[in-house]
Amino acid sequence: MTTQQLLAIVVIVVLTAVNTRGIRTGALVQNVFTFAKVASLLGLACLGYLMGRNPEVIAANFGHLWEYMSVGGAPGAPVTFEWAAIALVGTAMVGPLFSSDSWNNVTFAAAEVRNPQRNLPLALGLGVGIVSLLYLACNLVYMSVLTFPQIIAAPEDRVATAVVSVMFGPAATSIMAAAIMVSTFGCLNGIILSGARVYLTMARDKLFFAKAGELDAKTHAPVPALAMQCGWSVLLTLSGQYNDLLDYVIFAVLLFYILTIAGLFRLRRTRPGLARPYKAVGYPVVPALYILMAVLIEVLLLMNKPEFTVRGLVLVLLGVPVYFLWQRKGVAA
């Protein structure tokens, strides 16, 4: 076990314990760390724009952008803005998709949200909008401070740390490391808080262990579900490298997003009279475009990262016979 894995396990256990005290406690922790994370990213974007911009870097990055669109990313290489460029961009979407993947996690706790018909769409819209703006602002700063070769060569893909070290020197990297830890802590708390609610619902639908459907009598928190989630998370932490798990997660997540949105088309056809308190904006064009783009990324990941995505696909498919077995029994063990 490495030091990083040990620290990750400790954080998972501590945050799980915090969330067993109820959704109010978990939400309080989430709000504090979300505010700190957003403030850190805003600070990075503003300081980078005001103090870190390098005209030579901007000219090199934006003036010769397409030179880096070859698969190898080498400047001066032949521009291949066709399939190779599409493959490069599609494969590189793993990071951006992961950075915003928890956009829908608030819906997992919909049963505990006041006026969900109003507050859930509002939270989703504001959350996606703010995260997208912050992501674009920070990436513009990266491309204004570091050349593409410097970005590619950033140790362990820590581009923000490399940017801060260029602007303020090596000593500032400790500050950036602390900001990254705050961001990670807040993200992990949100996933722990919302993820356990999925297992709770599955158990009550008799598709998971019945114990996971129980709530604590005092805090009304899904303590058994939190404990099961904690145990599985610890095993995943010990199973491999972070980047490997990232590829597994994004491939599986996109697959389920595709199935979920495809279900929207099916329900519109098979149950036209069903009550729909939430509106699908831009239907059917926007959902169809999302499915097409997501399928393209899935294909590109299978082609360019088969060693991880195929395993992720196999892991997901293993759940199919388990689902039918549980459904046949009708009662979770």
Distance CA 294, CA 289 (A): 8
Using the predicted structure, report yes or no on whether residue 226 has a pLDDT greater than 60.
yes
**Who has greater pLDDT, 221 or 71?**
221
Instruction: Report the 10 Å Cβ neighbour count for 312.
Output: 22
Same domain, yes or no: 133 and 190:
yes
pTM of this structure: 0.74
Same domain, yes or no: 202 and 107:
yes
Same domain, yes or no: 226 and 256:
no
Residue 114, Cβ density class (10 Å: 0-12 exposed, 13-18 middle, ≥19 buried): exposed
pLDDT in tens, 142-182: 989 988 888 888 776 788 888 888 888 877 778 877 888 88
The span from the first CA to the last CA of the chain, in angstroms, equals 33
Residue 255: give the domain boundaries: 241-333
Same domain, yes or no: 267 and 283:
yes
Q: Which of 66-70, 208-212, 221-225 has the highest mean pLDDT?
A: 221-225
Same domain, yes or no: 174 and 97:
yes
Using the predicted structure, report yes or no on whether residue 79 has a pLDDT greater than 70.
no
Identify the residue whose tokens are 């999302």: 290
**Who has greater pLDDT, 8 or 87?**
8
pLDDT value of position 328: 74
Same domain, yes or no: 122 and 182:
yes
Same domain, yes or no: 102 and 31:
yes
Same domain, yes or no: 90 and 204:
yes
Out of 206, 239, 272, a domain closes at 239
Instruction: Give 265's pLDDT tier (boundaries 50, 70, 90).
Output: very high
Using the predicted structure, report yes or no on whether residue 83 has a pLDDT greater than 80.
no
Nearest to 109 by CA among 42, 191, 15: 191
Same domain, yes or no: 153 and 26:
yes
Count CA atoms within 13 Å of residue 182 on its CB side: 17
Same domain, yes or no: 230 and 250:
no
- Using the Cα atoms of residue 111, residue 113, residue 117 and residue 122 in order, give the sign of their dihedral: negative
Using the predicted structure, report yes or no on whether residue 16 has a pLDDT greater than 90.
yes
pLDDT value of position 13: 95
Distance CA 56, CA 192 (A): 44
Out of 239, 255, 288, a domain closes at 239
Q: Any idea of the CA torsion for 217, 219, 223, 225, to the nearest 10 degrees?
A: 100
Instruction: Give 82's pLDDT tier (boundaries 50, 70, 90).
Output: low
Least confident of 152-156, 267-271, 275-279, 284-288: 152-156
Out of 239, 259, 279, a domain closes at 239
Q: Is the peptide bond preceding residue 284 cis, with omega within 30 degrees of 0? A: yes
Instruction: Report the 10 Å Cβ neighbour count for 195.
Output: 20
pLDDT value of position 333: 46
**Who has greater pLDDT, 226 or 321?**
226
Distance CA 270, CA 209 (A): 31
Using the predicted structure, report yes or no on whether residue 78 has a pLDDT greater than 50.
no
pLDDT value of position 72: 45
Same domain, yes or no: 222 and 320:
no
Same domain, yes or no: 147 and 207:
yes
pLDDT value of position 332: 44
Is the backbone of residue 166 left (phi > 0), alpha (psi -120 to 50) or beta? Answer: alpha
User: Which amino acid is it at 210?
Assistant: A
Are 182 and 33 contacting, i.e. CB atoms less than 8 angstroms apart? yes
Residue 291 makes CB contacts below 8 A (sequence gap 6+) with 258, 261, 262
**Who has greater pLDDT, 192 or 173?**
192
What is the number of structural domains in the chain?
2
Residues, the chain: 333
Q: Is the peptide bond preceding residue 287 cis, with omega within 30 degrees of 0? A: no
Distance CA 232, CA 246 (A): 16
Which tokens is 93 given? Answer: 């979407």
Identify the residue whose tokens are 């700063």: 141
